[in-house]
Amino acid sequence: MDASMHPETCVIHGGHQRDSSGSLTTPLLQTATFAFDDCHSGGQRFAGEQAGPIYTRLGNPTTNELERRIALLEGSEDALAFASGMGAVAAALLGTLQSGDHLIVATSLYGCSHSLATEQLPRFGIEVTQVDFAQLAEVESAIQANTKLMLLETPVNPHLQAYDLDSLVSIAKAHDIITVVDNTFMTPLLQKPLSHGVDLVLHSATKYLNGHGDVIAGLVCGRAEMIDPLRNQIRKDFGAVLSPHDAWLILRGMKTLALRMERHCDSALKIARYLQTHPTVAAVHYPGLESHMGYGLIGTQMKAGGGVVAIELCGDYQTALSFVDALRLFTIAVSLGDPESLVQHPASMTHSCYQQEERRAAGISDNLVRLAIGLEHCDDLIADLEQALSHCHTKERRDETV
């Protein structure tokens, strides 16, 4: 299979190499190590003079197929799998930056990416500046002589702000800065950052790529010259290797990715439009809505708005908690991309590592709630939201009369 096939075909066939057994599905090679015919053969493999697996921390045929498939989907020369999404983020940063370098990150990032950038990297002599990537002048002014890399998500976790990659890449290339984009919320079916000039693309394969909530995994995609050091040094020495069984589960899950993303996106748009009309909802953040600042990027950078909707309720921190607790069909859990619809309160959960002033600067309000829309019937999800919002409204009115 080659890169010319449609994504709906690639998620099923991409990177597959049928082995001598004739197995239709990818064989699961659940092994730690691989046998050599003799010492000479083993030495040649270690020297890179003979192709073939050595030790699963260095590579495994099952995992390699996952890497080939995501590379084809993202349109990259190479890809590398890790034991978690954070393993992928850490590898991309630690494999590219060194002491004395300057990193620019978005004010709003996934909570652990934020902690890694602002708390861990400075311990190794790496300077970090947080900016709003929607403000291009702010990005320009943050650039220093030692700026090496920009890290961002688009759409942003958790409030779904969307950034113009063409404009950001133009700025980065003018200053010889590496761009790294987390594409988890979109998947390569909805957005391909590399086609806009981005250098490295990250995925938490835990989410939509696996799609079943039973795997933790991460992926990095990019040019071979950038992936090789991550494979031969960072993953080998730091050891954040994905197990073959988890790679096999992701490969199985990816076969339905196109169908699942269509359902996630369709339901999310319907729910976002419903929430826009509800008097208890102060704001709805979803790129598929005409009112969203990222709507103009659909059709040029994004194919659809994705499967996550964020809302700000009329009320405060406690109102948000009451709403989340009142939901019955939505499960209170972090993550997204599962068949089950999930809900979480960023200020007290995924982004609780932010200081309050940092959350404010990042646009993460106390009354913000993130909804990861699953595969249930949309009418049932809307009914659940309606009863939970009515509960909050009733509580607010009761409080007003006390």
**82 DSSP β-pair partners:** 218
Give the separation between CA 87 and CA 141, rounded to whole angstroms. Answer: 30
Using the structure block, give the residue that is written with the tokens 């790294």.
180
Retrieve residue 265's tokens: 């996106």
Write down the catalytic residue from 110, 163, 208, 354.
Answer: 110
Write down the catalytic residue from 55, 57, 274, 317.
Answer: 57
Is 192 one of the catalytic residues? no
- Do residues 153 and 182 touch, judged by C-beta distance below 8 A? yes
- Do residues 362 and 354 touch, judged by C-beta distance below 8 A? yes
For residue 53, the SS3 value is coil
Give the H or E element holding residue 384. helix 378-401
**CA 263, 265, 266, 269 torsion: positive or negative?**
positive
Is 110 one of the catalytic residues? yes
b/e 155-193 (16+ beta carbons within 10 angstroms → b): bbbbbbbbbbbeebbebbeeeebbbbbbbbbbbbbbbbb
Q: What 3 state SS string does 268-324 have?
A: HHHHHHHHHCCCCEEEEECCCCCCCCCHHHECCCECCCCCEEEEEECCCHHHHHHHH
- Do residues 210 and 219 touch, judged by C-beta distance below 8 A? no
Write down the catalytic residue from 207, 231, 260, 359.
Answer: 207
Catalytic residues: 57, 110, 182, 207
